[in-house]
Structure 1
Amino acid sequence: MPIIVFIRHGETDWNVEGRFQGQRDIPLNARGRGQARRNGLTLADIMPETKDFDFVASPLGRTRETMEIVRGAMGLDPSLYRQDPTLKEITFGQWEGFTGPELKALFPERVHEREADKWDFVPPGGESYAMLSMRIKGWLDGIDTDTVVVSHGGVCRVLRGLLLKLDPSVTPMLDVPQDKVFVWNGQAAGWI
Structure 2
Amino acid sequence: MPDTPTIYFIRHGETDWNRDRRYQGQRDIPLNDTGRAQAHRNGAALSAFLPAIADADFVASPLGRTRETMEIIRAALGLAHDGYTVEPKLVELSYGLWEGTLQDDLARTDPEGVAARRTDTYRWRPSGGESYADLFARVSGWASGVARDCVIVSHGGVSRCLRAHVLGLDPELIPELESPQDRVLILSGRSMRWL
Aligned position for 1:76? 79
Distance, in Å, in 1 between the alignment partners of 2:143 and 2:22 is 28
Matching of residue 98 in structure 1 with residue 101 in structure 2 = yes
CA drift of 1:115 comes to 1.6
Report how far residue 161 of structure 1 moved.
Answer: 1.1
Compute the displacement of 1:45 (Å).
Answer: 2.1
Q: Distance in 1 between matches of 2:20 and 2:49?
A: 32
- Render the CA deviation track for 1:80-131: whole Å, top value 9, x for unaligned: 1000101000000111010122111111121011122110000000000000
- Alpha-carbon distance between aligned partners in 2 of 1:96 and 1:46, rounded to the nearest angstrom: 37
Confirm or deny: 8 A CA contact 2:168 2:190 kept in the other structure.
no
Q: CA RMSD in A?
A: 1.0
Q: Cα distance, 1:47 vs. partner?
A: 5.2
Query: Are 1:6 and 2:9 counterparts?
Result: yes
Shift of 1:46: 4.5
Kindly provide the amino acid, as one letter, of the partner of residue 51 in structure 1. Answer: A
Contact 1:10–1:178 (CA under 8 A) maintained in structure 2: yes
Percent of aligned pairs sharing the same letter: 53
Q: Could you tell me which residue of structure 2 aligns to residue 117 of structure 1?
A: 120
Q: 1:130 aligns with which of 103, 112, 133?
A: 133
Q: 1:167 offset after TM fit, Å? A: 1.9
Distance 1:73 1:110 in 2: 42
The separation in 1 between residues aligned to 2:173 and 2:190, in whole angstroms, is: 20
CA-CA distance at 1:48 after TM superposition: 4.1
> 8 Å contact 1:68–1:79 — kept in the other structure?
yes
1:186 aligns with 2:192: no
The farther-off stretch of 99-108 and 31-40 is 99-108
> Hey, what does 1:66 align to over in structure 2?
69
Q: How many pairs were matched up?
A: 192
Residue 52 (1) aligns with residue 55 (2)? yes
Aligned counterparts of 1:47 and 1:97: Cα–Cα separation in 2: 39
Query: How far 1:168 moved relative to its partner?
Result: 2.3
Give, in whole Å, the separation in 1 of the partners of 2:57 and 2:156.
20
> Which of 29, 33, 43 lines up with 2:46 in the alignment?
43
In the alignment, is the contact (CA less than 8 A) between 1:44 and 1:51 conserved in 2? no
Which shows bigger deviation, 38-47 or 147-156?
Answer: 38-47
Structure 1 segments of 4 or more deviating over 6 A?
none
Indicate conservation of the 8 Å contact 1:22/1:96, yes or no: yes
Aligned-residue offset at 1:187 = 3.0
Partner residue, 2:162: 159
| CA distance in 2: counterparts of 1:15 and 1:73, whole angstroms | 24
Write the distance in 2 (CA, Å) between the matches of 1:45 and 1:3: 15
The residue identity in structure 1 corresponding to 2:192 is: A
